[in-house]
Chain A
Amino acid sequence: MTITAAYPKTEATRARKPRRARRMLLWLVAPSLVLLLLINAYPLVYAALQSVRDGSLINAGDYVGLENYRATLTSPAFWRSVQFTLIFTVVGVFGSWLGGLGLALLLRTRIPGRTVFKTLLLLPWVVPVVVSSTAWNWLVATPQSPLPSLAEALGLGSPLFLADPVLAKITVCVFKVWISVPFMMMLVGAALAGVDGAVYEAAEVDGATRWQQFRHITLPMISRSTYISWILMTIFCVNDFPTIFLLTGGGPVDATTSLVVLSYRTVFQNFQVGPGVAIAFLMTASLVVVSVALYRQIRKAHV
């Protein structure tokens, strides 16, 4: 018998609930609601108003309707940023998930020094991005940096990791994956810990191979947390400003300008507040769509 069956929610029960108690509940949540409105709704509404005006950071400016959105959606720079944001997000989400999954599976086995290894693997996530981006800059920025020097020693020429548009995109994406793998490793590791070992034992008795166990047991059993991690990492990637800005500033020639970097530069470097906020709103809308789609997958997930 389920709890729901023991205490069925009937109309009669609801009617018995004292009205005063419900009113009190409303009063109790009221301060939190007011604070939430002040903290979230007010800036959101203010930003929405800014996106339909041609104001500055100080003055609201004149109402221009949807002109900022029209200008943004017809700007080639915006679509180039959309393209890079997609690449950055897809590589960031799936690259870090694959890395995290691989490491989490590895750490599930009994290897010597596992705890130390796990702690060291967390470092890229724990270290502030400012520090790690400085380290990566040192690693790749000049022809005398370690990685270009190594490439030259191997006869691969002197690659311009941050100055060549294609290599800069790759470098930034790899940097993002490197930073995010520990986070994914923790999420996947926690999900894997929840999988009952008896299931694998039963599968082995049935003659399932390692791949079949992974494909038909592990992946379905961790699917819910996988979707959650994808949602979170999608949001992290789309909104990721420091990783890109500190390493390349969005260059060279806008090759690594994501939507959030474009929005920042439009508002705070070009001082075009309306178009910059419009970009941010379009970004938010697309994030909501992606999150809802992934959330629906969670509900369909096995566990």
Chain B
Amino acid sequence: MNTNLSRRAFLGLGAAVGGGMLLSACGGGSASGGGDGGRLKFWDMPWGQANYTAAAKKLTEAYQPAGSLPKATYQGLQWANFSQTFSSAIASKTGPAVSTGGGFQAFQFADQGAIAYADNVVSQFRKDGTYDDFLPGQLDAMKTAKGYAAVPWQLDFRVWWYRKSLLDAAGVQVPTTWDELLTACRTLAGRKLFGFGTGAGAGNNLGSQGLHLMMLNNGGGLFNADGKVDVVTEANLEAMRFVQEMVKAKAVDPASVSYTTDNLITQWRNKKVAMGIHTAGLDTDTGETDGDLQVMSPLTGPGGAKAGLVFQNNIMMYADTPSQEGSEAFLSYYIRSMKTLWQQNVVAGLPVLKSIVALPEFQAQKAKAKIIAEWAPVAKTFAANSPTLFGGLASVDSSQPITQFAQTVLAGQDPKPALETLQKALEGIVK
């Protein structure tokens, strides 16, 4: 074998290799934004137990588009660093055509020009009756000045739960008002049980969301009717002082400011927590669906108001797509066909369509059915008291200031300076 390689040939080879690397580094790869070999890319988050992804993938792959419209491919994502995943993919034009994601992601990306509005899909829904199948107000919550940023597909509530056996053993009635709640907390504390189970540790937003629910229940919220940050209000202060009372009454575990979601679930499972604010999936998260964990009816606040907190998880379309018509057709298909996910009981969230709520498989889940029946009508969005959702909300939910606020209040510190600090911090990040 001749191994003699001339210097010129060697240099040429080196240049070719280097040039090739350079080109491949600069090139965008074979897949265009939103597309994958002529197919639509659908990115989905893990919205349920382990079998959710398989069911959602099957649903995606079952999509048979009309005419020459593209088929869809399924890509499951994890929650860890999902913002970076989406942002960097969109910036490099390798993102999806359609996706689920964070509750305010569509509004955030819409502000940055990356979202394709769903007005055509909603128009079609109006014609074929799907529009009327949505629970009241849920679809219109997606409406912005420029159009529908997304289409909701499931609801994520924060509600009060209680463990029946612990309340019965303590002779405590299920509270219906804040006063009753505080009294119950004091009785339970006498048995070394926590009446306000919560957590604000690494990656756990239940603490801040629980406080937010209390504000809403008292007619307060993070924003005013103009959509401006308005945290230092009498209603919020009263609600947080009530929480401070609960902390003094030993209703809050002092370690809860550092509880991850797993820590909190463990405390529920170990029967250390008798009442608390959680997602609709507490019973499945703890693995206890025997009815000992039950959902309370919405509490009546001091002002007589009832409220819940709801996040409308949605499906959004992106401007960078191989076929806008194809994206719309796939989104319509998914909304109309997603019933199967609840029939298989693989989704943690609650349905947004009345036809799914009416399913016997869903109604059999008493806690979830109760949430739709009692909490959905009084639930407010994270943007309350703003009439519409907006992109800045993505910067608020799970942000550093709101987590710090929750840790401060749950540690029993004076809520007024905490609210003032929160106001200042949120004004800095909500644009």
Other-chain residue from B18, B109, B256, B403 in contact with A34 (beta carbon distance below 8 A): B18
A34 CA to B14 CA, complexed, in Å: 12
A100 CA to B428 CA, complexed, in Å: 45
For chain A, the bracket of interface size reads 35 or more
A271 with B201: CB separation less than 8 A: no
Q: What are the residues of chain B within 8 A of A38 when measuring CB–CB?
A: 22, 25
A160 CA to B410 CA, complexed, in Å: 14
A162 CA to B429 CA, complexed, in Å: 27
Q: A57-B87, A137-B263, A268-B84 are in contact. Are A249 and B403 (CB under 8 A)?
A: yes
B114 adjacent to chain A (CB < 8 Å) = yes
Q: What are the residues of chain B within 8 A of A251 when measuring CB–CB?
A: 200-202, 257-258, 403-404, 407
A141 with B258: CB separation less than 8 A: yes
Other-chain residue from B21, B114, B255 in contact with A31 (beta carbon distance below 8 A): B21
A1 adjacent to chain B (CB < 8 Å) = no
A144 with B429: CB separation less than 8 A: no
Other-chain residue from A28, A58, A160 in contact with B91 (beta carbon distance below 8 A): A58
Total contacts A-B at CB 8 Å = 132
| Majority-rule SS of B interface residues | helix
Q: What are the residues of chain B within 8 A of A178 when measuring CB–CB?
A: none
A270 with B395: CB separation less than 8 A: yes
Nearest CB of A to B134, in Å:
29
B90 with A254: CB separation less than 8 A: no
A268 CA to B86 CA, complexed, in Å: 11
A160 CA to B266 CA, complexed, in Å: 17
Interface locus among A2-10, A183-191, A240-248, A278-286: A240-248
Other-chain residue from B15, B90, B254, B403 in contact with A160 (beta carbon distance below 8 A): B254
A168 adjacent to chain B (CB < 8 Å) = yes
Nearest CB of B to A60, in Å:
10
Q: What are the residues of chain B within 8 A of A266 when measuring CB–CB?
A: 400
Nearest CB of B to A206, in Å:
56
B161 adjacent to chain A (CB < 8 Å) = no
The residues in A between 246 and 285 inclusive whose CB is less than 8 angstroms from any CB of B are: 246-254, 257, 262, 265-266, 268-272
A24 CA to B14 CA, complexed, in Å: 11
A81 CA to B91 CA, complexed, in Å: 30
Other-chain residue from B21, B22, B400 in contact with A250 (beta carbon distance below 8 A): B400
A27 with B258: CB separation less than 8 A: no
A89 CA to B384 CA, complexed, in Å: 43
A58 CA to B14 CA, complexed, in Å: 36
Other-chain residue from B11, B17, B81 in contact with A268 (beta carbon distance below 8 A): B81
Q: What are the residues of chain A within 8 A of B253 when measuring CB–CB?
A: 142-143
Nearest CB of B to A68, in Å:
12
B411 with A249: CB separation less than 8 A: no
Q: A56-B112, A270-B429 are in contact. Are A163 and B257 (CB under 8 A)?
A: yes
**In the complex, which residue of chain B has the Cβ closest to the Cβ of A265?**
B400
Number of interface residues of B (CB under 8 A): 53
A59 adjacent to chain B (CB < 8 Å) = yes
Q: A160-B254, A271-B394 are in contact. Are A141 and B259 (CB under 8 A)?
A: yes
Other-chain residue from A30, A31, A142, A269 in contact with B266 (beta carbon distance below 8 A): A142
Provide the B265-278 mask, 1 if CB < 8 A to any CB of A, else 0.
Answer: 01100101000000
Other-chain residue from B11, B88, B201 in contact with A162 (beta carbon distance below 8 A): B201
B260 adjacent to chain A (CB < 8 Å) = yes
A246 CA to B80 CA, complexed, in Å: 11
A142 with B263: CB separation less than 8 A: yes
A31 CA to B21 CA, complexed, in Å: 8
Other-chain residue from A34, A58, A249 in contact with B87 (beta carbon distance below 8 A): A58
Q: What are the residues of chain B within 8 A of A77 when measuring CB–CB?
A: 400
Provide the B54-88 mask, 1 if CB < 8 A to any CB of A, else 0.
Answer: 00000000000000000000000000010110011
B270 with A144: CB separation less than 8 A: yes
A38 CA to B200 CA, complexed, in Å: 41
A162 with B84: CB separation less than 8 A: no
Q: What are the residues of chain B within 8 A of A268 when measuring CB–CB?
A: 81, 83-84
A35 adjacent to chain B (CB < 8 Å) = yes
Q: What are the residues of chain A within 8 A of B400 when measuring CB–CB?
A: 77, 250, 254, 257, 262, 265-266, 269-270
Other-chain residue from B22, B87, B258, B429 in contact with A163 (beta carbon distance below 8 A): B258
B25 with A249: CB separation less than 8 A: no
Provide the B393-429 mask, 1 if CB < 8 A to any CB of A, else 0.
Answer: 0110011110110011001000000000000000011
B236 adjacent to chain A (CB < 8 Å) = no
Nearest CB of B to A35, in Å:
6
A58 with B263: CB separation less than 8 A: no
Q: What are the residues of chain B within 8 A of A265 when measuring CB–CB?
A: 399-400
Q: What are the residues of chain B within 8 A of A163 when measuring CB–CB?
A: 254-258, 411
Q: What are the residues of chain B within 8 A of A57 when measuring CB–CB?
A: 83-84, 87-88, 91
A253 with B407: CB separation less than 8 A: yes
Q: A31-B17, A31-B21 are in contact. Are A143 and B429 (CB under 8 A)?
A: no
Chain A to chain B: the 10 pairs with minimum beta-carbon distance, closest first? A31-B18, A249-B202, A57-B87, A162-B258, A163-B258, A265-B400, A252-B407, A163-B255, A271-B395, A252-B257
Question: Could you list 20 examples of A-B contacts with CB < 8 Å?
Answer: A27-B14, A27-B15, A28-B11, A31-B17, A35-B21, A38-B22, A57-B87, A58-B90, A141-B258, A160-B255, A162-B255, A163-B254, A163-B255, A163-B258, A245-B202, A248-B258, A251-B258, A251-B404, A253-B404, A253-B407
Residues of A within 8 A of B (CB): 24, 27-28, 30-31, 34-35, 38, 56-59, 77, 137, 141-144, 160, 162-163, 168, 245-254, 257, 262, 265-266, 268-272
